[in-house]
């Protein structure tokens, strides 16, 4: 996909989500809607979902795609790296990422974006997997961060 086409698609998704989520404060409904729109609008999104911190554990939240791991082993894998480093992690080849947790062996690349409260506190991550290698780049990172910004006006 060209840069222009990818940016155009994300721009339209963000506008759609802003309209859908206006005056919809429920955090679970917002997360479910974000995963459904992203998963069905971007063809290389093979698994799209949230992992949320719950009493120090990272537990699966709303998602689209094949059956996922419910709890991720602490401080292991890409999602925990996103939480611990507090930044977006792009993994071109999951097989090269130390400790990567394979919930579905068909995944080959991955992006993890921290989900933050208004205060800046990290409360979870958005995780997206692709069946292809090197699917995610800085454009995905930028727009997924913007999309998660739509969560910030509600309590999670
Ligand atoms: N691969 C992730 C685990 C979650 S699945 O991709 C749905 C990780 O290493 O944290």
Encode pLDDT of 50-95 as tens digits: 999 999 999 999 999 999 999 999 999 999 999 999 999 999 999 9
Q: Look at residue 153 in the predicted model and tell me its pLDDT.
A: 65
Q: Look at residue 122 in the predicted model and tell me its pLDDT.
A: 96
Tokens of 85: 């480093």
pLDDT higher than 70, residue 150: yes
pLDDT higher than 70, residue 156: no
Torsion of CA 22, 25, 29, 35, to 10 degrees: 60
Q: 127 alpha carbon to ligand 1 midpoint, in Å?
A: 7
Distance (Å, whole) CA 90 – CA 27: 25
Residues in Cβ contact with 8 at an 8 Å cutoff, skipping those fewer than 6 apart:
none
**In testing the pocket of ligand 1, which one of 62, 68, 110, 136 has its CB within 8 Å of the most ligand atoms?**
110
Encode pLDDT of 6-36 as tens digits: 999 999 999 999 999 999 999 999 999 999 9
Q: Look at residue 151 in the predicted model and tell me its pLDDT.
A: 81
Q: 23 alpha carbon to ligand 1 midpoint, in Å?
A: 31
Model's pTM, two decimal places?
0.96
User: 10 Å Cβ neighbour count for 82?
Assistant: 25
Say if residues 129 and 96 touch (Cβ distance below 8 Å): no
Distance (Å, whole) CA 132 – CA 110: 9
Distance (Å, whole) CA 61 – CA 53: 10
Encode pLDDT of 100-139 as tens digits: 999 999 999 999 999 999 899 999 999 999 999 999 999 9
Tell me which residue of 136, 115, 122 sits closest to 47, measured CA to CA.
136
Relative to the CA of 81, which ligand 1 atom is closest? 10
Q: 104 alpha carbon to ligand 1 midpoint, in Å?
A: 9
């Amino acid at each position: 996909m060209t840069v222009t086409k990818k940016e155009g698609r994300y721009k339209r998704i963000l506008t759609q989500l802003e309209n859908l989520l206006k005056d919809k404060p429920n955090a679970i409904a917002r997360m479910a809607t974000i995963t459904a729109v992203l998963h069905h609008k971007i063809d290389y999104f093979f698994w799209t979902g949230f992992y949320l911190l719950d009493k120090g554990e990272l537990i699966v939240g709303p998602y689209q795609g094949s059956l996922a791991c419910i709890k991720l082993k602490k401080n292991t894998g890409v999602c925990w790296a996103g939480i611990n480093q507090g930044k977006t992690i792009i993994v071109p080849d999951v097989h090269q990422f130390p400790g990567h947790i394979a919930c579905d062996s068909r995944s080959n690349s991955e992006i993890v974006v921290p989900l933050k409260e208004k205060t800046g506190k990290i409360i979870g991550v958005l995780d997206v997997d692709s069946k292809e290698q090197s699917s995610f780049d800085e454009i995905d990172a930028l727009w997924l961060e913007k999309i998660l910004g739509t969560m910030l006006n509600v309590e999670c």
